[in-house]
Amino acid sequence: MKPPRTGIKIGISLQILAVLVIYGLVNYLGSVHYERRDFSRSQKFSLAGQTRAVLKEFKKPLHIVIIASPTLYSPVAPLLTDLRGLMNEVLFNKRSDLLVEYIDPTRNIQRIQELKTDYNLAGLDNVMILEYDDRSRVVNIAEMGEFDLSPMAQGGAPVLLAFRGEQVFTSALMSILKPETETIYFLQGHGEASPTRDANKFAEAVSIQNAAVKTLSLAGLDVIPTDASAVVVAGAQSDLDEREAAVLGSWLRGGGKLLVLLDPNAATPRLHGLLANSGIVPRNDRVLRLIQLPFATGILREVTAQVLPNAEATRRLEGTNLFFPGATQSLGFDLSHAEAEKIRIRPLVQAAEEFWGETDYAPNQPQGVAYQDGIDNGQPLVLAASADRDGVEDDRVDVQTSRLIVVGSFQFALDPFLTPPGLDFLVGSVNSLIDRGNLTGITPKNITRFNLRLTDAQLSRLALAVMLGVPGLAAFAGFVMWVKRRS
């Protein structure tokens, strides 16, 4: 007996309804609970932590206008695809109060004339305009690329080496969000690293944060310049004199912001005394560990350390590993003095567990070293710390307070040794000093071109695999299937 047609129709209808309900639920859950992963080599499809933090600070509508023609050849043409990809990521991370407008100057003449009138600009081509809260910033798109100009000597086109659009874009966001330019002074005159030579990458990264980088000599000065937002002492090789120490100490106690990168091999007792007045005491040790080599036990003086999330300068860098080449010393704390002076001390970077602070150190130790409890400095071994005078517990409360950040090494800030995590830590420290702690995080990096270089033999093997291997594998699978069906 055949089942009634009505029952079949009802059963099919219920099945279709169930499928639609499941499809709707799966899509709803996917839109609410999702995770994005970027497996690209340069992480070109992910915004840096600092960029995301800056975007969150915009509480009013942000309008971005990109004026460039995708149909005309120009030096910036290779940048437009990456720029559009960057804007897509920006739109994804800030889904509200953001409008991105693309204008082709060869097709939308009327809109170009309106913008020329609004912004009082003579020419509008290959630029990005950011508008926020009655403020605007014009960025040249050409600044977003690093080019090799040597082919132009033979009449060729410049070659794009790297896309630095996120760096330029984030800098523009910070400048329009906080129009006031901060001034960061690098102390000179005691063998410190120069912001134009030894620490050029560090200085450039600071300038991208909408800050002006200048050098400072205390010779003949009785006070720190009034426009100084922060002062950086990067690896002083000789000590301050009494007058310089007094000038710097008075400015720090009066609300100054100071970043000190110590050279453990330099004799700088006055500089150490200045730090001790804020409760941070550099120890006379060298951080090291033992490593087992194939035929002997070696001494490793290059230190691996981990960033601690104890302050806004490092909170978004939690778990990041830093590498300190060369000599590194640990830091101690005078907690009784800090409590009496109402100074809040926070460790920022701690050496890995295997390291200790060796007090009986020498450049060459043929007899070897070993940790001696009660003599050497054991864990926890702090390599960087901050000291806030008359501050509050909550970093989100903006209080004008004296702030000091000390690191027991300086070589990691020099151009040959500076790593991306080290740069993030340094830039975060500077932002924290100038009360931009909410804008700290992993800074944007360049997206460099990646060339896959293959030898002739490798190209031949690759071509053979593509032309013969893949079709042969498909033919073999078909033959196996045919044999099975025949049997």
- Over the stretch 282-313, which tens digit does the pLDDT of each residue have? 998 999 888 877 777 777 889 999 998 877 77
Q: Strands across the sheet with 297-300, in order?
A: 297-300, 286-292, 356-358
Residue 78: strand, helix, or coil? helix
Q: Where are the beta strands (DSSP E) in 222-363?
A: 228-234, 257-261, 280-282, 286-292, 297-300, 303-307, 321-324, 331-333, 343-351, 356-358
> Is 40's pLDDT higher than 70?
no
Higher-pLDDT residue of 440, 248: 248
Distance between CA atoms of residues 327 and 303, nearest Å: 9
Helices (H), 143-299: 165-177, 200-208, 242-253, 269-276
More confident residue, 473 or 42: 473
| Token pair for 50 | 């600092």
Lowest mean pLDDT among 54-58, 161-165, 186-190, 398-402: 398-402
Distance between CA atoms of residues 139 and 50, nearest Å: 19
Render pLDDT for 133-190 as a digit per residue (tens, 0 to 9): 888 888 888 888 877 777 767 777 777 777 888 888 888 888 888 877 889 999 999 9
Angle in degrees, CA 120, 124, 129, rounded to 5: 75
Helices assigned H by DSSP within 318-419: 335-340
237-256 burial by CB neighbour count: b if 16+ within 10 A, else e?
eebbeeebbebbbebbeeeb
- Note the pLDDT of residue 397: 47
* DSSP single-letter state for residue 376: B
* 248, two tokens: 């710097």
Over 90: is that where the pLDDT of 360 sits? no
Q: From the CA atom positions of the chain, what is the Rg in Å?
A: 30
User: For position 36, what pLDDT does the model report?
Assistant: 67
Computed over every residue of the chain, the mean pLDDT equals 83
pLDDT value of residue 80: 85
Q: Does 314 or 431 have the greater pLDDT score? A: 431
Share of the chain above pLDDT 70, in %: 88
Average pLDDT (451-479) is 80
Q: CATH number for 180-435: choose from 3.40.50.880, 3.40.50.300, 3.40.718.10, 3.30.930.10.
A: 3.40.50.880
* Predicted confidence (pLDDT) at residue 251 exceeds the cutoff of 90: yes
- Report residue 315's pLDDT band, with 50, 70 and 90 as the boundaries: confident
> Between 3.40.1190.20, 3.40.50.300, 3.40.30.10, 3.40.50.12280, what CATH number should domain 49-173 receive?
3.40.30.10
Q: How far apart are CA 17 and CA 19, in angstroms?
A: 5
C-beta neighbour count of 399 within 10 angstroms: 12
Nearest to 195 by CA among 461, 428, 434, 414: 414
| pLDDT on residue 432 | 86
Query: Over pLDDT 90: what percentage of the chain?
Result: 30
Instruction: Tally the C-alpha atoms within 13 A of residue 179's C-alpha that lie toward its C-beta.
Output: 8
Say if residue 441's pLDDT is above 80: no
89-93, 193-197, 260-264: least confident range: 89-93
Ranges of each domain in the chain: 49-173, 180-435
Rounded distance between C-alpha atoms, residue 196 and residue 425, angstroms? 20
Name the 3-class secondary structure at 354: coil
Confidence of residue 389 (pLDDT cuts 50, 70, 90): confident
Mean predicted confidence (pLDDT) in 100-111: 85
Confidence of residue 368 (pLDDT cuts 50, 70, 90): low
Strand ranges inside 401-484, DSSP E: 402-407, 447-448
What pLDDT, on the 0 to 100 scale, is given for residue 172?
84
Q: Which residue has the higher pLDDT, 214 or 313?
A: 214
pLDDT band at 260 (very low <50, low <70, confident <90, very high): very high
Per-residue CA distances from 481 to 172, 398, 455, 471, 485 (Å): 61, 73, 38, 15, 6
More confident residue, 314 or 356: 356
Rounded alpha-carbon distances, angstroms, from residue 222 to 191, 219, 230, 242, 251: 21, 9, 17, 12, 10
pLDDT of 256 above 70:
yes
